[in-house]
A and B are shown apart, each in its own frame.
Chain A
Amino acid sequence: MLAAIAIERARAFENESRAEAARHSEQLRTTVLDGLAHAFKTPLTAIQTASSGLVELGGLDQDRAELASLIQEQTRQLNQLTTDLLQMARIDAADVRISRERVDVADVIDEVLAKARTQYPTSDEHKGTTFFFALPRWTGGR
């Protein structure tokens, strides 16, 4: 009986250590991801500045202009991937802080719509939507 309890405790201890080790390793992984994502932004900025500069300065023939645009487009995609990676790292590290404040739901909806218009300027999904401003106030986070 005593031997069984000792074995169980040892197992529990081992499991706990494993969980702790797993947590540390997860933390390390997200820190590395976060650092990498930030480090990527510097060369991305130089590439984006140089390629969009080439286009803006003009004087490129059609082939060269096409290649410069290709670099720009791919840089934009790489930047988006890096941003997604950063956000995932933050979520994994549970580093998502909600700042609670009294909000007016209509304002939040307006803000979301304004962002959607910027991100999807050609989408028709938000058009023709009306919101009433007599909505109650809620405590929420963004």
Chain B
Amino acid sequence: MTAPLATILVVDDEAAIRCALRTTLTGMGFAVAEAANGEVSVEMARTSHYDVVLLDINMPGMGGVKTCRELRRLLPSLGILMLTVRDSEEDKVEALDAGADDYVTKPFHVRELAARIRAAVRRARTPGDEPGAPIRIGDIEIDPDRHLVRKAGQTVHVTPKEFELLHILMSHPGVPLTHTRLLRTVWGPEYGGELEYLRTFMRQLRRKLEEDPSAPVYLLTESHIGYRFADIEQ
């Protein structure tokens, strides 16, 4: 018997969705456990190891966002994917700000979900790099210690703020980072609503790093939510 690809905890109050997910993901090689609400999932996460939690945002009782906050507090390296029914940006932003790594809108295609799960597992299992360690994704490389950015081996000149923005994005490949989080990390805790700053700096970065800045491959926009650096497997 082969070892499972990863251990997944499915948290959803709808039995039909849990059943469909359990059967499919098990068939794809994952080990799957289930919880019907947030309270139970927190207890299960305290006592057993899971690589990734699939967490419904809209549940009675503790609710998805509160559960996410609690799980993140208990297990900082756990992969958390939120399942959202409503196509509401506010919900997604709230979930990401509560510590979720990513979100998938219901109904989803299993292939898309499995890809997101695999990316979350990879991130959860990759030990955090040293803060100054170089990061290379695709053709783009950032070296925080030497304050260098390279594209296909060629040095690209970026401003200090562009550098900081690129660094936080590249430190979280594949993870959507909200406008508020980016602004507060790069500009300071008193910022949060200055979307213009972000748009301007992202536009500059795209001009410098993308082949076609209007069709970016690396610096991706998450409409109304924030930005995501592409997760390109090396």
A-B contacts besides A44-B106, A49-B110, A104-B200, 12 pairs, CB < 8 Å:
A42-B17, A45-B106, A45-B108, A48-B107, A50-B24, A53-B20, A53-B24, A57-B28, A103-B196, A107-B199, A110-B214, A142-B224
Residues of A near any B CB (own CB < 8 A) = 38, 41-50, 52-53, 56-57, 72, 75, 79, 83, 86, 101-104, 106-107, 110-111, 113-115, 117, 131, 133, 142
Cα of A111 to Cα of B108 in the assembled complex, Å: 23
Q: Which residues of A contact B223 (CB under 8 A)?
A: 111, 115
A-B contact pairs, 9 of them (CB 8 A): A41-B85, A42-B17, A43-B16, A46-B17, A52-B111, A53-B24, A83-B87, A103-B196, A107-B203
Q: How far is the CB of A130 from chain B (nearest CB, A)?
A: 8
Partner of B107 from the list A45, A113, A131 (CB cut-off 8 Å) is: A45
Identify the 9 closest CB pairs spanning chains A and B, nearest first: A53-B24, A48-B107, A49-B20, A46-B16, A45-B107, A45-B106, A52-B110, A57-B27, A50-B20
Q: How far is the CB of A56 from chain B (nearest CB, A)?
A: 5
Task: Count CB-based A-B contacts (< 8 Å).
Answer: 87
Partner of B109 from the list A48, A83, A103 (CB cut-off 8 Å) is: A48
Give the residues from 55 to 110 in chain B that come closer than 8 angstroms, CB to CB, to chain A: 85-87, 106-110
Tell me if A's interface is mostly helix, strand, loop or mixed.
helix
Question: Count of chain B residues with Cβ under 8 Å from any Cβ of A?
Answer: 32
Nearest to B24 among chain A residues (CB) is: A53
Q: Which residues of A contact B85 (CB under 8 A)?
A: 38, 41-42, 45
Q: Is the CB of A49 within 8 A of B28?
A: no
Nearest to B83 among chain A residues (CB) is: A45
| B215 within 8 A of partner (CB) | yes
Q: Is the CB of B214 within 8 A of A113?
A: yes
Q: Is the CB of B106 within 8 A of A41?
A: yes
Nearest to A117 among chain B residues (CB) is: B215
Q: How far is the CB of A126 from chain B (nearest CB, A)?
A: 9
